[in-house]
A and B are shown apart, each in its own frame.
Chain A
Amino acid sequence: MSVAGRGGYRRPMRGWWRRDPFFMRYMAREVTAIGVAAYALILCIGVVCLSLGEAAWNGWLAALRSPASLVLHVLLLIAMVVHAQSWFEIMPKTMPMIFIGGRRLAALTITRTGWAATAVVTLAVLALFWGFA
């Protein structure tokens, strides 16, 4: 006897997240973890190469110059931006409530503060980077 025959109708779950834009956003946010994992692995390989000496390090740099790596890093950049966007969007719900003058700090303020922090960090790293160049 089929599963449907015994237990009645079962709603298929395949592709459930494509049913609703909210679920799509949820999945987009979860998928960024693959990008974060990939970047951690790439940096880890870089550190291993650095510990192995100049030839290994230059090999890692050469690998980063390959077209496949450049395409991958554009995707990783998108993943990181989506991650940051969703992270700051959720932050008002995940952090303890903050009260200022008896009023709860607005969700939008928290989200914007997060983005401002990322902007400051980005500019600081770029300035450092260009300062060294």
Chain B
Amino acid sequence: MKRSNAPIFWLLFGAGGMLAALFGPVLVLVTGIAVPLGWPAGSGVMAYPRMLAFAQNGLGKAFLFAVIALFAWHAAHRIYHSLHDIGVHTGTGARLACYGSALAITLVAAWSLLAIGF
């Protein structure tokens, strides 16, 4: 019997969903709202040297990669399975578009994080 690849995608979906539920709200709040508005006043929390050091640290690098890749795989899986609900008949094309985008984001993030160095 041919083994199904579904558990792999389900696992990525689950891991990404859990990570998004735990970290999603606070990350969006910090990176997308607080820092751009300058809260706390005049802070350079995300200034270049600081973020570079964060991304060069092993743990920081792993965290960034996990958040980006798992968020992407979670979303790809959910969007792919929701297409049917809005009347789109899914096939190989839709599967490639969804999971292919997640793979592209994963590879670009991995490449950049490696380029940043250790």
Contacts and interface: CB of A to CB of B under 8 A. Distances in A.
B112 A50 contact: yes
Given A33-B75, A34-B79, A76-B28, A129 B108 contact: no
Given A33-B74, A39-B24, A73-B32, A133 B105 contact: no
B75 A40 contact: yes
Interface stretch (A2-10, A58-66, A98-106): A58-66
A37 B71 contact: yes
B52 to A, nearest CB: 7
A9 B71 CA distance: 42
B72 A37 contact: yes
Contacts of A43: 31, 64, 67-68, 71, 109
A106 to B, nearest CB: 19
Contacts of A39: 24, 27-28, 32, 71
Contact of B24 (A34, A36, A61): A36
Given A37-B79, A44-B108, A130-B40, A84 B24 contact: yes
A80 B26 CA distance: 9
Interface string B32-75: 11111100100101101011100100000000100111011011
Chain A interface size band reads: 35 or more
Contacts of B21: 83-84, 87-88, 114, 118
A49 B68 CA distance: 14
A133 B22 contact: no
A74 interface: yes
Given A43-B67, A50-B116, A70-B33, 20 more contacts: A30-B78, A33-B75, A36-B20, A37-B71, A40-B72, A41-B105, A50-B48, A50-B51, A58-B48, A61-B36, A69-B32, A76-B32, A77-B28, A77-B29, A77-B33, A84-B21, A94-B14, A118-B25, A125-B30, A129-B45
Interface of A: 13-14, 17, 27, 30, 33-34, 36-37, 39-44, 46-48, 50-51, 54, 57-58, 61, 64-65, 69-70, 72-74, 76-77, 80-81, 83-84, 87-88, 94, 114, 117-118, 121-122, 125-126, 129-130, 132-133
6 contacts: A40-B68, A61-B35, A77-B25, A83-B24, A122-B26, A129-B34
